Structures are given as C-alpha cells and as structure tokens.
Amino acid sequence: MSGGSWDYFYYNIDEVADRLCDEKSPLRRALGQHMRALSHAMHEIEWVDSGDKSSPDDTEAIKAVFEELCAKQLHCHKRRVKREETMELIPCKNLDYDSDYIDCEIETGAPHYPDVKYWKRNNVPYEGAAVKVQFCKLRGRINGIFDCYNVGEMSCHEVGV
C-alpha cells in the first residue's frame, strides 16, 4: 500500500522543514533540522499504520526525535553556561539610556552583572508585564535585560564603538 493512512502528512512537514532550513535565521534553520527528524518519524508511523512496515520502526524513529531534542538541550545548556562563565557582555550600540521614559529609572544588574544597565518600569500597564526592560533606538521597548547584550541574541545587535 505504501503509506497513506495519514494522508502523507510527512510531506507537508518536509516542505516546511526545507523552507526553514533555507532561512537566514539560525533559530529557523535549527527548527527546520528538527522538523526533518519529525518528518522521518511521521513517515515511519504512517508506513507502520498502513501495514508497509512493522513496529518498532515507528517507535525507534519517535525515540530518535526525543533523544535528539534532549541531546540538543544538554548541549545548549552546556554552551550557555560556558558562555556565561567566559563571555564579556557587550551592549548593542542602539540601547537608549539617554531618553526620559515615563515612570522608569535606570538600574544595574549588580552584584552579579554590575556593568549591565536596564530600565525598571515602576508602573506596568497590566499584571505580568515586563518590569525590567531595555529601550532600543531602533526597535523600541525590549522585554528582557540581556537580549541586547549578547552578540547574536537579537538579529539587529550592533557592537558599540
């Protein structure tokens, strides 16, 4: 029968994965790579469900997706820890600390990050809104402290001169 029990859904995943893998964004490319593994798992599921293959082909492919995810999470965690231990935080030149933002004051990340400055919003518009933010001359408010200090975190990051 050659598949069909899932209407060849893995083809759709393949198409999305191919598009993502061709993107400029590293995050989109990484998602595309993950979706390729997911597509393979769906292919195996479809063929097992259609009677063209038998278990454990499908379960092995599913396990491989999760093993890849866990390995990547561990790798990313180790890389992040190493970066935090060795990397100097370099602010983007477009961070704005000169303007007067309503009901905001500049604070630092002391004692752990004394060179990191951010804006503390004293009155946020709704519960759960970001209190510690950055203001960018190009993008406006950014709901995070470190996003504009890590090279590569934001696609627009420009190292200050």
Domain-wise residue ranges, the chain:
9-86, 88-161
DSSP string computed for the chain? --S-TTTTHHHHHHHHHHHHHTSS-HHHHHHHHHHHHHHHHHHHHHHHHTTSS-TTHHHHHHHHHHHHHHHHHHHHHHHHHHHHHHPPP--BTTB--SS--TTEEEEEETTTEEEEEEEEESS-SSTT--SEEEEETTTEEES-SSTTTSTTTSTT--B--
Q: What is the pLDDT of residues 130-139, one digit of tens each?
A: 999 999 998 8
Tell me the pTM: 0.48
Q: What is the pLDDT of residues 96-155, one digit of tens each?
A: 998 888 899 999 988 888 889 999 999 998 999 999 999 999 889 999 888 888 777 777
